[in-house]
Structure formats: C-alpha cells, structure tokens
C-alpha cells in the first residue's frame, strides 16, 4: 500500500494545500500572469501594504518562497497589524521547514484576528509536524469549539490522539468527523488504521471498505488490494469466528 500511503500519509497537508488554493485569507485571485501587474502596483504605491501583500502571494503561488517572504515582511513593516500577511508569512516559513517561525507567525495572526479559523488550524498542523501532539490537541480542541463542522478538523484531532496512542479519543474524533462529513475518505481510512492497530480486524475492514466507497479515493486499486489481503488473512478470519 506504499503508493496509497505516499498520497495520503499526511491528510493534514492535503487540507493545507486546499486552504492555500481556495482562500489563503485574501480576496483577490492571484495567478502567474498577475505577477508583473503586482510588481507594477508596488512600484506605483511602494508605501501601501496591500500591493506588497498581493505580490507576495503571487510569488507564493510560484513557490518562490524567499521573494514571497520579503514582500509579506514589507507589508508587515508598513502595517504591523496586517493579519493577512502575518498568516501568509507563517505559510512561507512552513513551506521552508521552519516550524518554530511558522508557529510564531500563526500565533501572532491569531492575536491580530481571532476570528480567522485557518490560523488556528495551521497552528495545529505545525505543532503536529513538530511532534508536539499535546499542543496540537489543545489548539484543535479550541478551534473545533468555535467551528465544529470544519472539514478535516476532527480527523486532524484524531491523528494527534492516535500519535499518543489515545485510541478511544482517536476513534471518537474520527467518528465525529464522519458525523459532519460522512464521505470523508481520510476519516474512514484512519479509523480503519486505528482499529487495525488495536487488532480489531473486522472493524478495520469495514472502515476500509467505507473509505473505498467514498467519492474521492487517491488510489482505489491499491486500497482494494489491501482489503482483499485482509479478507484472506488468518487473523481476520479468526476475529470473524469469535
């Protein structure tokens, strides 16, 4: 199941990619063709933070992290309370693998605009990637208290519990994700993984089958082969006889 795992090992990261593409806390759609436009805007209005922010976002879309960082920092120099740039600067640091700096930016973005949920969510992501699972759990629980229906939120919390081997809490979190999003591939998959680690093979198999039936599956053939292998395994057959 290596290819499938390679695609979905970090569903939180996939969610992060979606956040970046669907709404990185800014209203304008910045495409590659707009790079020169925002460069021109910066030349015409060098003391306004928004052109620098938008130019930074254009660089971000092109994965030019250092250029994006420079423009977000300039936007913040012009307006230290510009939460949009603080959040996006955190994303740049995250992409560069600088987790402590990313965490610091997300915290500052939360202080500047507590109403923006992605700052909380990505703070949890950074803590999780750092291996600070307790901190991630605290952030996710705070976040979900405000937005309990946020897609991927309960699954992310479940993964943090799973990392600490808090199995019951992990199972409950994945099930809560499915209450809000019944077709969540990741929730079904990681619920199956949790049951499998607990050697509850029938429940694991049932969860994997539900994952395979979801509308969007990264590698249905590989997941199907894993299900077939489990169905034919002696351990699964023994559990079914109990």
**What b/e readout covers 121-143, taking b as 16+ CB neighbours within 10 angstroms?**
bbbbbbbbbeebbebbbebbeeb
The pLDDT tens digits of the residues spanning 13-35 come to: 333 433 443 344 443 444 457 88
Per mean pLDDT, which range of 8-12, 60-64, 204-208, 234-238 is the poorest?
8-12
The pLDDT tens digits of the residues spanning 165-215 come to: 999 999 999 999 999 999 999 999 999 999 999 999 999 999 999 999 999
Please, are residues 120 and 143 in contact by the beta-carbon 8 Å criterion? yes
Residue 234 confidence (pLDDT): 60
Q: Which two tokens stand for residue 174?
A: 């994945």
Place of tokens 């922010």: 53
Give which of 56, 98, 106, 62 is closest to 77, Cα–Cα: 56
- Mean pLDDT for the chain? 86
Residue 196 confidence (pLDDT): 96
Residue 120 confidence (pLDDT): 93
Whole-prediction pTM:
0.80
Residue 242 confidence (pLDDT): 57
Which domains, from first to last, does the chain contain? 9-182 (1.25.40.10)
Measured between alpha carbons, how far is 116 from 54 in angstroms, rounded to an integer?
Answer: 19
Residue 29 confidence (pLDDT): 47
Q: Which two tokens stand for residue 48?
A: 């306004």
Place of tokens 């699954």: 155
- Please give the torsion angle defined by the CA atoms of residues 98, 99, 103 and 106, in that order, rounded to the nearest 10 degrees: 60
| Res. 148: pLDDT tops 80 | yes
Over the Cα atoms of the chain, what is R_g? 21
Please, are residues 180 and 153 in contact by the beta-carbon 8 Å criterion? no
User: What one-character DSSP code corresponds to residue 125?
Assistant: H
Residue 37 confidence (pLDDT): 87
Q: Which two tokens stand for residue 110?
A: 């939360």
| Res. 100: pLDDT tops 60 | yes
| Res. 99: pLDDT tops 90 | yes
5 pLDDT band, cuts 50/70/90, is: very low
């Amino acid at each position: 199941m290596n290819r499938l795992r390679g695609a979905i090992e970090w569903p939180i990261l996939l969610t992060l990619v979606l956040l970046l593409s669907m709404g990185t806390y800014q209203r304008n759609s910045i495409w590659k063709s707009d790079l020169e436009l925002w460069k021109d805007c910066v030349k015409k209005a060098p003391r306004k933070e928004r052109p620098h922010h938008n130019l930074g976002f254009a660089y971000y879309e092109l994965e030019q992290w250092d250029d994006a960082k420079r423009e977000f920092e300039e936007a913040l120099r012009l307006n230290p309370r510009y939460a949009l740039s603080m959040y996006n600067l955190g994303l740049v640091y995250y992409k560069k693998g600088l987790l402590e700096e990313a965490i610091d930016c997300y915290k500052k973005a939360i202080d500047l605009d507590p109403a923006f949920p992605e700052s909380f969510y990505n703070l949890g992501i950074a803590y999780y990637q750092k291996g600070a699972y307790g901190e991630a759990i605290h952030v996710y629980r705070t976040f979900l208290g405000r937005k309990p229906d946020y897609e991927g939120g309960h699954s992310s919390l479940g993964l943090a519990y799973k990392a600490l081997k808090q199995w019951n809490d992990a199972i409950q979190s994945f099930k809560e994700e499915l209450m809000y999003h019944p077709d969540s591939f990741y929730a079904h998959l990681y619920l199956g993984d949790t049951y499998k680690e607990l050697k509850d093979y029938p429940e694991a198999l049932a969860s994997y089958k539900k994952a395979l039936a979801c509308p969007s599956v990264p590698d249905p053939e590989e997941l199907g082969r894993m299900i077939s292998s489990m169905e034919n395994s002696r351990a699964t057959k023994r559990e079914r006889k109990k």
